[in-house]
Structure 1
């Protein structure tokens, strides 16, 4: 930096405004500031920095290479400043207003249903708009405040992620199906069996992937007689003795305890799914978003801990036969 005069950080914001609006005149109108004043301040900023940020002509204005690099940092600074303002403004604000949340259908019934009444009772000024869909939504582009998801791999690098725990998965079938088509004591005995597929195409030859006690991965191909994205329908179909399915343990735990379903290959492990919520970084500062995330974390972390303890007990019982 050249010269001894300090840099006014407001000039960084002016530079962002000039570039985003495409001209000094448009930036001046947007910021209610004379064009000449903005031009002079940008020129002073360039002088203090000792670099040319904008290439000007009588007809057009272009950002220089160093100006483009400088712009990225200026945008980050102004965004951070806005976020800091929101933190201060919302520090003592009560959660209120509309809250848009996306969640898969099965996850909503399994995990959110017990939490939603508590949330609405605790924050009566919040209006919850809950969209149940099994497609992967674009949280930012579609204007959602929060999306609840469950995946084997969390890959939402552009969003803030709050994890609630691991959802164990099990291969199950009814005693009736096992008696008619089993026994199923090895991976080989399950190959080509009738299965119910979650989110698979009927034209595919899908497979369940399991890890054996030595840590080796194995693949079990199955014949899908039903393909659906409704995990509750799969659960009911398996209970009826139609075939084998991979299900979240939380969904079928009671059926296993009652003896209506049996865990297959209990010494093999299926990759657990990570239950989590994602939200844009700035939305996390809004009181209603923060309140929902905190309550979900409190309730679902406890739910997942208890479920995994129950899973361990039932798995050991299944291993003993």
Structure 2
């Protein structure tokens, strides 16, 4: 059997990742008929059907699924081999696919994108912003930024902790002028609260010396989106808790005031997740190192 043409493997992998020959052709900028023909020739050379396709469906066969996993790994290995040479000769280049949740993209990533593109002008960043869970291996992403309050479960993914942000109690100057400033955690109980939920949620406050208090304000509004919580607090509706990644700018420009400066309400950690092989690509490493540098603190 003749050796595989790496270009044919790449066309096959792109077709599977895109879900159709049409989408793959659009992504690669070549006619779908070319991709279909090359995949058919690959199947003929192998003597097996890799993809079952009709006018209404496009799905891998059992053996096609196994072949895809190895073909995808071969493409990544080839990219890594090329990347090693590129890293010796020039700055990182190529496309890095990154996914992040809406708050992470809004409050952490967006302000640094200009600097990233300026630092690595030959690198292209494709940022997919969504709050749904993304299977980064199956969907072909290089990096996923996940913000989480509990530790992430074990997986085959490479994990790199980027930063941790404490939750602060905050309110607007207008709210404090009208209702007063709490001096002790217990004072929170008489204040209006902007909460993630109206179902009796309380805040676990931790002091700098390790003391803990569980207390809840009087909820007046609930929202499960940080931008809404931020704007509601800035409008003077009540007290809320926000991570520093979300509220730092508002604290600096005076829209919000930190309350109970010796206390926090836990923290949230942001971690970069990478498929093992892709995490070794120079372009991916460059983006992760940049994020660790700029998002820390």
The TM-score with structure 1 as length reference comes to: 0.60
1:138 is aligned to: 135
Q: Indicate yes or no: 2:184 matched with 1:189.
A: no
Question: Is the 1:206–1:223 contact (alpha carbons within 8 Å) kept by the matching residues of 2?
Answer: no
1:216–1:173 CA distance, 2 compared to 1 (3 A): same
Residue among 134, 146, 151 paired with 1:149: 146
**Matched residue of 1:256: which SS?**
helix
Deviation (angstroms), 1:156: 4.6
Q: Distance in 2 between matches of 1:131 and 1:229?
A: 21
| 1:112-127 superposed matches below 5 A | 112-127=109-124
**Matched residue of 1:92: which SS?**
helix
| 1:240-319 superposed matches below 5 A | 240-301=235-296, 304=297
Gap runs ≥5 in structure 2: 1-41, 47-71
Q: Distance in 1 between matches of 2:291 and 2:249?
A: 23
CA RMSD of aligned residues (A): 3.5
For residues 41-83 of structure 1, the C-alpha deviation after alignment (integer angstroms, 9 at most, x for no partner) is xxxxxxxxxxxxxxxxxxxxxxxxxxxxxxxxxxxxxx99998
Q: Distance in 2 between matches of 1:118 and 1:177?
A: 37
Q: Distance in 2 between matches of 1:113 and 1:215?
A: 34
Residue among 207, 217, 239 paired with 2:212: 217
2:3 is aligned to: none
2:167 is aligned to: 169
1:92–1:184 CA distance, 2 compared to 1 (3 A): same
Deviation (angstroms), 1:254: 4.5
Question: Is the 1:134–1:229 contact (alpha carbons within 8 Å) kept by the matching residues of 2?
Answer: no
Residue among 87, 106, 109 paired with 1:109: 106
For residues 15-61 of structure 1, the C-alpha deviation after alignment (integer angstroms, 9 at most, x for no partner) is xxxxxxxxxxxxxx99x89xxxxxxxxxxxxxxxxxxxxxxxxxxxx
Q: Indicate yes or no: 2:92 matched with 1:99.
A: no
Deviation (angstroms), 1:187: 2.2
| 1:197-208 superposed matches below 5 A | 197=195, 200-202=196-198, 204-208=199-203
Gap runs ≥5 in structure 1: 1-28, 34-78, 305-321
Question: Is the 2:77–2:277 contact (alpha carbons within 8 Å) kept by the matching residues of 1?
Answer: no
1:201–1:181 CA distance, 2 compared to 1 (3 A): same
For residues 248-302 of structure 1, the C-alpha deviation after alignment (integer angstroms, 9 at most, x for no partner) is 224433443454422222222322222331111111123332221122223223x
2:83 is aligned to: 90
**Matched residue of 1:168: which SS?**
strand
Larger Rg: 1
For residues 148-188 of structure 1, the C-alpha deviation after alignment (integer angstroms, 9 at most, x for no partner) is 12223331531212222322321011232223333412222
1:76 is aligned to: none
Question: Is the 2:117–2:123 contact (alpha carbons within 8 Å) kept by the matching residues of 1?
Answer: yes
Q: Distance in 1 between matches of 2:282 and 2:253?
A: 43
**Matched residue of 1:246: which SS?**
strand
For residues 105-164 of structure 1, the C-alpha deviation after alignment (integer angstroms, 9 at most, x for no partner) is 222232212322233344445443212223443322333221112223331531212222
